[in-house]
Amino acid sequence: MNPSDYLVDTGVEWRRSPAPVPYRAALAEQEARNAAIAAGQAEELIWLLEHPPVYTAGTSAPADELLDARFDVVHTGRGGRYTYHGPGQRVGYVLVDLSRRGHDVRRFVHGLESWVVGTLANFGIEAWAVPDRIGIWTRDIDGAEAKIGAIGVRVRKWVTMHGFAVNLDPDLSHFGGIVPCGIAEFGVTSLARLGLAVAPEAWDEALRARAPQFLAALTE
């Protein structure tokens, strides 16, 4: 698969960045692309990448949930609280135009959740969304619920930004510098911790196979 091509019959650019992309650079590119999509000057975009270690703060992030600012801290316009991004975590930025895909932000968020949950199922991971808790959840090795993926979005002029992040094999100790998404009573896990070695390329291909279904569901 090329680093950047198009999803069949959708007109959406599908981009993979093979090297880590600094968070601030990715945010600036998202903001520019968001404006171009809204102006009818660019195609929609699904961008898969990873970042060097960084903590990001959503619009609801309180200062006391940043426990140890050991990495760069970026305040961003997405919803939610503090999130960690770093090597071994696959981030998906989804920039689509809801003005022609249903005008329904809630459906978009639920669609992201279902897309990630379905892709995890391809690898034998049973996962789910919880209405009163942000993110994607599964059973950890001790049987307790733990977060395996994060969801955070922003919508500007009906064009979406940000998206999701899934823990393939990150350093889970890095999450200790924050209260992930403001939920202190549950842990964080990964596919590797659950005994699955999944390469980014394999994850991306499984996600891509489900992308047309995700996009179609936005207007059902």
What are the tens digits of pLDDT across the range 4-28? Answer: 787 755 789 999 999 999 999 999 9
| pLDDT value for 1 | 54
Strands (E), 115-202: 127-130, 133-139, 145-156, 159-167, 187-188
Domains of the chain, start order: 4-217 (3.30.930.10)
Looking at the chain, the whole-number percentage of residues with pLDDT higher than 70 is 98
- What's the pLDDT band for 163 if we cut at 50, 70, 90? very high
Residue 204: half-sphere exposure toward Cβ, Cα within 13 Å: 23
What are the tens digits of pLDDT across the range 140-155? Answer: 999 999 999 999 999 9
Residue 199 a catalytic site member: no
Averaged pLDDT, 195-218: 96
What gap in Å lies between CA 76 and CA 194, rounded to an integer? 31
CA 29 to chain centre: 16
Q: Flag whether the pTM goes above 0.85.
A: yes
What gap in Å lies between CA 203 and CA 215, rounded to an integer? 18
What are the tens digits of pLDDT across the range 91-103? Answer: 999 999 999 999 9
Please tell me which residue in 45, 98, 148, 181 is annotated as part of the active site. 181
Cβ(7)–Cβ(208) below 8 Å:
yes
